[in-house]
Amino acid sequence: MTHIFSEIIRIVIPVAYFAVSVSFIVAFTKKQQLSSVWPSLFLAIGLFAHTCLLINILIANGYYLIETPFEGLAFCGWFFIVASTLLVYRQKEASFGAFLFPAGFVVSTLAVIFISQGPHLPKFLLSQPFMAHTWILFGSYACFLLSAIISIMYLVQHHLIRSRSLGSVYERLPALEVMDQVIMNCDAVGAALLIIGIVMGFLLMNSAIIRPPNLNIKISFAMLAAVTYACEHILRVGIGWKGQRACFVSIFGFVLIMITLLSGRHGF
Amino acid sequence: MDSNVDICKHVVVFGISHNTGSLGVREKILFAEQDIPEALSELCKLDGVLEAVILSTCNRVEIYAVIDKPDKAQALLSSFISAKKNIPLEDFEKHIYFHRCNQAVEHLFHVTGSLDSLVVGEAQILSQVKNAFSVARENGSTGIVLNKLFLFAITSGKRVRSETKIGKGAVSISQAGVELAKKILGQLTNHCAMIIGAGEMSELTAKHLKSAGIRKLFFANRTLDRAAALSAQFDGAAINLAEMPGILPECDIVISSTASPDYIIDVDDMREVIVKRKNQPILLIDIAAPRDIHPDVGKLYNVFLYTIDDLAQVAKYNVEARTNEIAAAMIIINEEMNEYFEWYNYLRVQPIVVSLRKKFDTIRDKNLTLLAGQIAEMPEETRNLIKNFASELTDDFFEMPSIALRESAGTSDWMQLSDALTKLFKLK
């Protein structure tokens, strides 16, 4: 892929996602279901360009190891947009799109603006299992971002129903039960991916003869987040911790994930 | 029905609605569904009545007609109703409204747009108008004017419903309760509901829940007979109040409207229910006075308790929201009405336009016949070219006067222009 083509793609992605976000926000404010073809078209263009960008990096480097945080954001954004698209079109709820796509736009825009080459990785990390490890983890982060946003939507709707403020925002937000189900599914998928990612990480450390395993901040918080999400799921299934409490746990879990993300590289 | 329309034959509407007469008055002149075809035939036999449609619902009884002598229409239709229903004129006369021409048309557009309904934006009226029109059409009591008028009015009503939010939001207590349930539980097809008490409110709520697709309905009442009657009507299950605590954990929606002086559900009962339900959300709607459910029940986790006052507020908010849509509805109604008037006005000049076209075609055909001998030897392609040229020339000559006539149809110039064209081209 030529450099010019790559540059065009990096412009198309934010423009297309911005158009999608605006369309969904307008549909939300006007209390409409999406009947126009334009948002879907913009979404298709954005996703296509985004996929091309990821493939371009993969081809150019020979691997996609998510060397820099913004490379990670590009993948996380792509995964998030795909998951949001599936959710919005499956649930036929424009209101989900009005909250999710702007978040997807921000993540993806940050990624394409700041995407750069990272420092060269140690040789033992240039492997497919390490690539899978990072992909799986960033996939789980996308799931948790989605769940955290919908948890906020849930809490707003819950507050409106409890306080009898049954006005325009209440009318536009989806049903509590629908949102709770989505949060549960996102957290379950995210937690499964996170646990797999962590286990893979330990196996990789083991194979690289880093003994004892180096429990840095990144790993510690990732493990704490995994335990939080696993507990949430167990409490949901066991004693029916549904709704508001699950939302708080979900948001807390996402804070842990953010600390994991912002704590930088592993340092080995 | 004669399809030749004369401009002096006017559209009129004659009737009594919830705005002008009480249910007692409306009942007296109401037409049962099976009586309407006969009434239409009798109406059309009256002197000067060319077309007629009878709209008879619980909120209005109206006769839409095209009448030769509109000045006498009110008296004529009043006598018809009096004779048909066998009631003295003075019993309903003061409740009558009568509109002619534009006002009559406007009235029908307001009716189909549900602006004239008891509850603005209600959905039933449009299908009732459609039904009244189709009965009249099947009985041959409509003609060119009412056919077009009702088609325009029905289209306008559809547009008002689809392009504005006039029909959105629950406007009754029971409907508001069901809407709230949907906002908490999502689709109701996988949920159970219990209705405690078997009064009119319970029946109404059951109706709304059933139409929202609720999976199962329980009817709990002190006397099982009434609960059994309701359960038979709505395909539910009747239970005694004593059995209620055992069934309650199965239910996601509980609506209570009994006359009990004490609480039927208190905090401890509900705490047990919540444990058994593993914190699944439950919506409790207490529409009884005095209250059936202890107010503290609403403080429990995942219990949503609403009272009649809360729901009345929702209904009030929605009524206001619908009222705010009237201006948007009026824009659509005016657009559709103008199109109808344009069409109606065109009927006045239509005979002249048709005659003029025939005249031009005759001139073209005559000249082509004269030319026929001279062009017979020419190749077919050339002959076709000449014929096409003649047709296009005729079309071009016809276009200007026909447009001028159409445009004049809505103004006072139309008669002068028609006379001029009739004299100039010796039209019949």
Nearest to B183 among A167, A170, A239 (CB): A170
Residue B37 is given by DSSP the state H
Dihedral of CA atoms A159, A160, A164, A167 in degrees, nearest 10, equals 170
Residue B18 makes CB contacts below 8 A (sequence gap 6+) with B26, B59, B60, B118
Sheet holding B303-307, edge to edge: B237-240, B216-221, B192-196, B253-256, B282-286, B303-307
Taking only the tens place, the pLDDT of each residue in B111-153 is 999 999 888 888 889 999 999 999 999 999 999 889 999 999 9
Minimal Cα distance from A170: which residue of B? Answer: B183
User: How far does A240 lie from chain B, in Å, by closest CA?
Assistant: 5
pLDDT of res. A62: 72
Query: Looking at chain A, which residue has its C-alpha nearest residue B305?
Result: A162
Q: How far apart are CA A85 and CA B288, in angstroms?
A: 45
Helix (DSSP H) and strand (DSSP E) numbers for chain A:
9, 0
Lowest model confidence (mean pLDDT) among A14-28, A189-203, B315-329: B315-329
Nearest to B281 among A166, A241, A242 (CB): A242
pLDDT (tens digit, 9 = 90+) per residue, A198-230?
Answer: 999 888 877 765 555 566 788 888 999 999 999
> Residue A67: what pLDDT?
66
Pairwise pLDDT comparison (A49 vs A262), residue with the higher score: A49
Query: What pLDDT, on the 0 to 100 scale, is given for residue A254?
Result: 95
Asked if B278's CB is within 8 angstroms of A175's CB, the reply is: no
Question: Coil, strand or helix: which one is B193?
Answer: strand
CB A234 within 8 A of CB A206: no
Query: Which of B173, B191, B285, B302 to mutate to test binding with chain A, by most A CBs within 10 Å of its CB?
Result: B302
pLDDT beneath 50, residues of chain B: 1-8
**Closest approach of chain A CAs to the CA of B274, in angstroms?**
10
Give residue for tokens 């047990």: B272
Report pTM: 0.70
| Nearest Cα residue in chain B from A91 | B186
The yes-or-no verdict on residue A31 having pLDDT over 80 is no
Cβ distance of A178 and B302 shorter than 8 Å: no
Q: How far off is chain A from B308, nearest CA to CA, in Å?
A: 12
Q: Which of A167, A171, A175 sits opposite B185 (nearest CB)?
A: A175
* Predicted ipTM of the assembly: 0.85
> Which member of B277, B278, B310 has the closest CB to residue A164?
B310
Cβ–Cβ contact B295 with A under 8 A: no
The verdict on B310 touching A (C-beta cutoff 8 Å) is yes
Which member of B169, B180, B281 has the closest CB to residue A243? B281
Q: Which of B182, B185, B280 sits opposite A240 (nearest CB)?
A: B280
Tell me the shortest Cα–Cα distance from B197 to chain A, in angstroms.
Answer: 25
Interface test with A, best of B190, B279, B306 (most A CBs within 10 A): B279
B233/chain A closest Cα distance in angstroms: 29
Task: Tell me what percent of chain A is helix, strand and coil, each rounded to the nearest 5.
Answer: 80, 0, 20
A-B contacts (CB, under 8 Å) = 52
- Say how far apart CA A249 and CA B11 lie, in whole Å: 68
Please indicate if any CB of chain A lies within 8 Å of the CB of B406. no
Catalytic residue among B8, B58, B192, B251: B58
Query: Would you call B223 helix, strand, or coil by DSSP?
Result: coil
Top residue of A91, A159, A165, A166 to mutate, by most chain B CBs within 10 Å, is A166
A121-145 pLDDT, tens digit per residue, is: 666 666 778 888 888 999 999 999 9
Chain A residues in contact with B183 (beta carbon < 8 A): 157, 161, 170, 175-176
Contact yes or no for B279 and A178 at CB 8 A: no
How close does chain A come to B126, measured CA to CA in Å? 23
* Residue A158: pLDDT band with limits 50, 70, 90: very high
Long-range contacts for B291-295 (Cβ within 8 Å, ≥24 apart)?
Answer: B291/B263, B292/B196, B292/B197, B292/B256, B292/B257, B292/B258, B292/B260, B292/B263, B292/B264, B292/B265, B293/B254, B293/B256, B293/B263, B293/B264, B293/B265, B294/B263, B294/B265, B294/B266, B294/B267
d(CA B32, CA B116): 22
Catalytic residue status for B58: yes
> What DSSP state is assigned to residue B157?
H
User: What residues in A contact B190, CB-CB < 8 Å?
Assistant: none
